[in-house]
Structure 1
Amino acid sequence: MNTANPTQPRPFFRLGRSSWNRFVQNFTTFFLNPRALAIGLVFASDNILFGSWGAHIPYVKEKLHLSDAALGLILFAQPVGLLIMNPLTGWIIAKLGEARACFWSAIVLVLAISIPVNAPNTIVLAFGLFLLGLAAALINVAMNTAATNLERAEGIVIMSSCHGMWSLGGLLGAGVAGAVIALHVPPAIHIIAVSILILILTIAVQPILTKIPSSSRTESGEKAGSSFIKPNLDLMLMILIGLALAMGEGAAFDWSAVYLHETLGASKQIAALGFASFSLMMTSFRFLGDAIIPKIGARRWLQIGGILGAVGLSIAIFLPYPPTALLGFALLGIGCSLGAPILYGASMRVPGIPPAAGLATFATFSFIGFLAGPPAIGFVAEGFGLYYGLGMVAVMLLISAGLSRSVKQF
Structure 2
Amino acid sequence: MDLRASRLAVAAAFLSQGLVFISLTTRLPDYQDTWDLSELQISLLLLMIVLLAGVGSVVAERLARGRDSASLLRLGLGITVVAVPILMLAPVVGAFVAGLAAYGVALGIVDATTNMQAVAVEHEYGRPILPSFHGAWTLGGILGAALTLATSRLPVEVGAVAAVVPLLVLFGPLLPRVGDPLAAAASAAGAVPWRPILLVGLGMVLFYMVDTAAQTWGSLYLDNVIDTPEDLVALATLPYLVASLALRLGGDRLVVSYGAVSVIRVGAVVSSLSLAAVVFAPSWPVAVLGFTVLGAGVAVIAPLSYSAAARIAGEGLDPLTRQARVDAVIGRFNQFNYLGALMGAVLVGAVGQDNLRLGFAVPMVLVLALLPLARAFAPAAVGGGEIRRSTGETVA
TM-score range, shorter chain: 0.7 to 0.9
Task: Give the unaligned 5+ runs of structure 1.
Answer: 1-31
After TM superposition, the structure 1 = structure 2 runs for residues 134-173 of structure 1, keeping only pairs within 5 Å, are 134-173=105-144
- How much identity, in percent, do the aligned residues show? 24
The reply on whether 1:244 has 2:206 as its aligned counterpart is yes
2:293 is aligned, of 295, 306, 331, to 331
The reply on whether 1:222 has 2:192 as its aligned counterpart is no
2:70 is aligned, of 99, 106, 109, to 99
The reply on whether 1:311 has 2:273 as its aligned counterpart is yes
Q: Report what 1:209 is aligned to.
A: 174
**Alpha carbon RMSD of aligned pairs, Å?**
3.4
* 1:212-247 residue CA offsets vs partner (Å, 9 max, x unmatched): 768958999733xx69x9983322222221222222
CA distance in 1, matches of 2:257, 2:180: 27
Cα 1:86–1:200 shift into 2, 3 Å: closer
The secondary structure found in structure 2 opposite 1:209 is: coil
Q: Which amino acid aligns with 2:248?
A: R
Cα 1:219–1:111 shift into 2, 3 Å: closer
Q: TM-score, normalised by structure 1?
A: 0.77
Q: Report what 1:302 is aligned to.
A: 264
CA contact (8 A) 2:305 2:377 kept: no
Q: Report what 1:198 is aligned to.
A: 166
Q: Which amino acid aligns with 1:161?
A: S
Q: Report what 2:371 is aligned to.
A: 401
* 1:276-303 residue CA offsets vs partner (Å, 9 max, x unmatched): 2212101221111122222222222111
Q: Report what 1:280 is aligned to.
A: 242
CA contact (8 A) 1:49 1:173 kept: yes
Q: Which segment is superposed worse, 145-154 or 273-282?
A: 273-282
CA distance in 2, matches of 1:111, 1:98: 20
Q: Which segment is superposed worse, 193-202 or 97-106?
A: 193-202
CA contact (8 A) 2:51 2:338 kept: no
CA distance in 1, matches of 2:146, 2:348: 27
CA contact (8 A) 2:6 2:175 kept: no
The secondary structure found in structure 2 opposite 1:130 is: helix
CA contact (8 A) 2:11 2:137 kept: yes
C-alpha displacement of 1:153:
1.4
CA distance in 1, matches of 2:100, 2:211: 21
Q: TM-score, normalised by structure 2?
A: 0.80
Q: Report what 1:291 is aligned to.
A: 253
Task: Give the unaligned 5+ runs of structure 2.
Answer: 316-324, 381-396
Aligned residues: 369
CA contact (8 A) 2:65 2:185 kept: no
2:195 is aligned, of 217, 233, 246, to 233
Cα 1:393–1:71 shift into 2, 3 Å: closer
